[in-house]
């Protein structure tokens, strides 16, 4: 099954060939062996992305903390750990997964507006590297908890730089009206009274303005604001240990159309604005590392010719890949064995009982018939990690591919798995 004709060019992950080989594995053979739908991830595509970023950043004092929420599969996290990559987490569950996968606590940073005290205490007990703090209330809670646990917490203030990431509104996080971070004016007040906290070392800045950014301009704008603030703090005698530049690098959802920021352009923006910073630069890429490294393999259940629309009904649905329903996101949809004949406009839908269960509208596709294999590309990020069992559809399998080999890294849920934890009502009173 192995074939080694892929070149590992930088910064592109291995391309999926016209004849459907991915990381040395024939996707058609894979689909003959495992029931669709399932996700397939290329380990080499992920490694290539990590190494491309590392090369571009060479010479800087930096650390990459992978945003676990993009794809939290244990095997993916283990791959990150093996490459020396840390984790950016947003919940206790992600902390648990990351530690379980072998990512050292000292390489873990904790982001999010709604960390509960329980979650903060668990992260403190685990000894994570730092907290990206998003509100005054959270900062006070951190001081209180660290004091009661007799530990010192390192904290960065998440700056909301009021910069438009020029991306979809639902994945834009750096405008003043978004729930994330605090203004520079508020951060200034935090540093002014940082000396009164005895268990929190406020020694970092953090910024993350949004996701799927395809232009370096908003990144530069945010970095410029953070850099100006760092210099101001330094002049006022506040020593900073780290500046976390967040994630947000975009990927190609539409090949031949989307032109992502290259790691070189990204690194040069970081160098230009933060090159003189003496502390460590943290990066939190999620989508960029895993997005293009994954495909969702699915089959056509049937073609339904409506009065006005031609529907291609797939065996995958919005519960497996939510992005098109949630964000109207484009994903390239490619038949694995294209049939000859003229392309036709189709609505590509899933079987779930929702009009929103639509992967694409009016998409031009070659002729398709029931049983045909189709791949939904760039599904490695925010695919399986956002999936659910809506309509009682068990979570699908995930496979990792690595130079001609494949491994099941999550088996398809059984019905028993799906109802695990549910039970008949046994009434009690409080």
Ligand X SMILES: *Cc1c(COP(=O)(O)O)cnc(C)c1O
| Per CB under 6 A, 119 contacts ligand X | no
Exposure b/e, 32-52, CB count within 10 A at least 16 = b? eebebbbbbbbbbbbbbbbeb
Smallest distance from the beta carbon of 242 to ligand X, in angstroms? 14
65 is catalytic: no
Q: Which of residues 219-248 bind ligand X (CB under 6 A)?
A: 246-248
The DSSP result for 240-286, as a single string, is --EEE----B---SSTTT--PPPHHHHHHHHHHHHTT--SEEEE--S
Catalytic residue among 18, 185, 235, 353: 353
Give whichever of 250 and 350 is closer to ligand X, judged by the CB atom.
Answer: 250
Does 69 sit near ligand X (CB under 6 A)? yes
Q: What residues between 122 and 181 interact with ligand X by CB under 6 A? A: none
Task: Provide, rounded to whole angstroms, the least separation between the CB of residue 247 and ligand X.
Answer: 3
Residue 110 within binding range of ligand X, rule CB under 6 A:
no
The half-sphere exposure of 262 on its side-chain side, counting CA atoms within 13 A, is 8
Pick one of 204, 260, 285, 380: the residue that binds ligand X (CB under 6 A): 285
Can residue 86 be called a binding residue for ligand X (CB under 6 A)?
Answer: no
By CB under 6 A, which span of 64-72, 94-102, 227-235, 400-408 interacts with ligand X? 64-72
Is residue 410 packed enough to be buried (19+ CB in 10 Å), middle (13-18) or exposed (0-12)?
middle
Cβ proximity of 77 and 55 under 8 Å:
no
Q: Which segments are annotated as binding site for substrate?
A: 287, 323, 327, 354, 382
CB of 66 to ligand X, least distance (A): 9
Q: What is the DSSP string of 160-225?
A: -------S-GGGB--STTSSSSB-HHHHHHHHHTGGG-SSEEEEEEE---BSSB--SHHHHHHHHH
User: Within 10 Å of residue 188's Cβ, how many Cβ atoms?
Assistant: 16
Binding mask 320-359 for ligand X (x = CB under 6 A): ----------------------------------------
For the annotated catalytic residues, the residue numbers are 353
Binding site for ligand X (CB under 6 A): 67, 69-70, 88, 111, 208, 211, 246-249, 284-288, 381
């Amino acid at each position: 099954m192995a074939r080694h004709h892929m070149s590992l060019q930088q910064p592109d992950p291995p391309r999926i060939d016209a004849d459907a080989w991915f990381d040395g594995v024939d996707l058609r053979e894979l689909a003959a062996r495992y029931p669709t739908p399932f996700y397939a991830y290329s380990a080499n595509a992920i490694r290539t992305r990590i190494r491309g970023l590392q090369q571009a950043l060479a010479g800087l004092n930096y650390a990459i903390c992978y945003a676990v929420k993009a794809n939290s599969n244990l095997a993916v996290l283990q791959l990150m750990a093996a490459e020396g990559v840390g984790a950016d987490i947003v919940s206790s569950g992600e902390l648990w997964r990351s530690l379980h996968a072998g990512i050292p606590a000292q390489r873990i940073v904790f982001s999010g507006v709604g960390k509960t005290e329980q979650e903060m205490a668990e992260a403190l007990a685990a000894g994570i590297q730092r907290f990206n703090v998003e509100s005054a209330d959270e900062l006070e809670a951190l001081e209180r908890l660290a004091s009661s646990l007799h530990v010192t917490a390192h904290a960065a203030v998440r700056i909301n730089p009021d910069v438009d990431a020029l991306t979809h509104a639902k994945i834009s996080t750096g405008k003043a009206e978004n729930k994330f971070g605090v203004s520079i004016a508020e951060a200034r007040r935090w540093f002014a009274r940082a000396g009164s906290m005895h268990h929190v070392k406020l020694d970092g800045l953090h910024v993350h303005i949004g996701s799927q950014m395809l232009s370096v301009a908003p990144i530069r704008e945010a970095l410029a604001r953070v850099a100006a603030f760092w210099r101001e703090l330094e002049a006022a005698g506040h020593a900073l240990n780290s500046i976390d530049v967040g994630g947000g690098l975009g990927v190609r959802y539409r090949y031949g159309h989307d032109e992502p920021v290259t790691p070189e352009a990204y690194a040069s923006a970081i160098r230009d604005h933060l090159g003189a910073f003496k502390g460590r630069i943290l990066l939190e890429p999620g989508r960029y590392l895993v997005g293009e490294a994954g495909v969702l393999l699915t089959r056509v259940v049937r073609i339904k010719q409506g009065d006005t629309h031609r529907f291609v009904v797939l065996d995958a649905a919005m519960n497996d890949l939510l992005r098109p329903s949630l964000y109207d996101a484009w994903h390239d949809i490619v038949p694995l064995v294209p049939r000859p004949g003229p392309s036709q406009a189709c609505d590509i839908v899933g079987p779930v009982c929702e009009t929103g269960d639509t992967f694409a509208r009016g998409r031009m596709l070659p002729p398709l018939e029931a049983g045909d294999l189709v791949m939904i590309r760039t599904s490695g990020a925010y695919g399986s990690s956002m999936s659910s069992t809506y309509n009682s559809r068990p979570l699908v399998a995930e496979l990792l591919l690595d130079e001609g080999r494949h491994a099941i890294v999550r088996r398809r849920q059984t019905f028993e798995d799906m109802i695990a934890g549910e039970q008949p009502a046994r009434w009690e009173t409080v």
